[in-house]
Amino acid sequence: MEQQLEELSKKANGELSSCEDAQALEAWRVAYIGRSGAVSELLRGIKDLSDEDKRVIGKNGNALRRELEERYQEKLHVLEKASSGRGVQATSYDLEAGVGHLHPLTLTMSRVHEIFASLGFIIADGPEVEEAKFNFDLLNIPAEHPARGEGDTFMVDPLSVNGAEGLVLRTQTSPMQIRSVEAMRLHPPFSVIAPGRVFRKEKVDATHESTFYQFEGLSVSETTSIADFKFIIETFFSTFFNAEVTIRLRPSYFPFVEPGFEVDMSCPFCKTGCKVCKYSKWIEVMGAGMVHPNVLKNMNIDPEKYQGFAFGGAIDRLAMIQYGINDIRLFWSGDVRFLRQFS
Ligand code: PHE
Query: Contact at 8 Å (CB) between 215 and 312?
Result: yes
CA 216, CA 113: separation in Å to the nearest integer?
A: 11
- Number of Cβ within a 10 Å radius of residue 323: 14
275 and 212 within one domain: yes
Ligand 1 centroid to Cα of residue 155, in Å, is: 20
Query: Contact at 8 Å (CB) between 223 and 201?
Result: no
| Residue where a domain terminates, one of 83, 112, 140 | 83
- Residues sharing a CB contact under 8 Å with residue 31, sequence separation 6 or more, in sequence order: 15, 37, 38
33 and 116 within one domain: no
Confidence of residue 162 (pLDDT cuts 50, 70, 90): low
The pLDDT tens digits for 278-303 are 999 999 999 999 999 999 999 999 99
**CB burial string 119-145: b at 16+ within 10 A, e below:** bebeebebeeebbbbbbbbbbbbeeee
122 and 262 within one domain: yes
What is the extent of the structural domain holding 324? 104-128+170-342
Nearest CA to ligand 1 atom 7: 312
Cβ 229 under 6 angstroms from ligand 1: no
75 and 116 within one domain: no
- Residues sharing a CB contact under 8 Å with residue 7, sequence separation 6 or more, in sequence order: none
User: What confidence score (pLDDT) does residue 161 get?
Assistant: 56
120 and 75 within one domain: no
* Side-chain-side CA neighbours of residue 283 (13 Å): 25
Let me know if residue 152 belongs to a domain.
no
Let me know if residue 136 belongs to a domain.
no
The pLDDT tens digits for 224-261 are 999 999 999 999 999 999 999 999 999 999 999 999 99
- Residues sharing a CB contact under 8 Å with residue 262, sequence separation 6 or more, in sequence order: 249, 250, 252, 284, 286, 287, 288
CA 134, CA 183: separation in Å to the nearest integer?
A: 13
68 and 9 within one domain: yes
118 and 27 within one domain: no
Beta pairing class for 257-266 and 282-291: antiparallel
**Measured from the CA of 172, which atom of ligand 1 is nearest?**
4
Confidence of residue 89 (pLDDT cuts 50, 70, 90): very low
- Number of Cβ within a 10 Å radius of residue 12: 21
User: What confidence score (pLDDT) does residue 55 get?
Assistant: 86
| Residue where a domain terminates, one of 48, 83, 118 | 83
Average pLDDT of span 47-52: 85
Average pLDDT of span 203-208: 93
Mean pLDDT score of the chain: 90
113 and 50 within one domain: no
Let me know if residue 92 belongs to a domain.
no
Phi, psi (rounded to 5 degrees) for 263:
-110, 125
Nearest to 180 by CA among 155, 148, 215: 215
Confidence of residue 307 (pLDDT cuts 50, 70, 90): very high
112 and 76 within one domain: no
Coil/strand/helix, residue 312: strand
The pLDDT tens digits for 188-200 are 999 999 999 999 9
Let me know if residue 116 belongs to a domain.
yes
Average pLDDT of span 100-106: 93
Least confident of 24-38, 110-124, 276-290: 24-38
Nearest CA to ligand 1 atom 12: 287
Query: Any idea what the CATH number is for the domain that residue 255 is in?
Result: 3.30.930.10
Cβ 310 under 6 angstroms from ligand 1: yes
Average pLDDT of span 58-80: 87
Ligand 1 centroid to Cα of residue 215, in Å, is: 9
Let me know if residue 96 belongs to a domain.
no
118 and 77 within one domain: no
- Is the pLDDT at 94 greater than 80, yes or no? no
- Counting the structural domains of the chain, the total is 2
Nearest CA to ligand 1 atom 10: 288
Phi, psi (rounded to 5 degrees) for 21:
-145, 175
Let me know if residue 134 belongs to a domain.
no
Cα 2 to chain centroid distance, Å, stands at 65
CA 270, CA 322: separation in Å to the nearest integer?
A: 13
- Is the pLDDT at 93 greater than 70, yes or no? no
Confidence of residue 88 (pLDDT cuts 50, 70, 90): very low
Mutate to test the pocket of ligand 1, among 135, 136, 138, 174 (most ligand atoms within 8 A of CB): 174
CA 74, CA 232: separation in Å to the nearest integer?
A: 67
| Residue where a domain terminates, one of 83, 114, 147 | 83
Nearest to 63 by CA among 1, 17, 6: 6
Let me know if residue 144 belongs to a domain.
no
**Measured from the CA of 173, which atom of ligand 1 is nearest?**
1
203 and 65 within one domain: no
213 and 73 within one domain: no
Let me know if residue 145 belongs to a domain.
no
Tell me which DSSP letter residue 155 carries: B
Coil/strand/helix, residue 51: helix
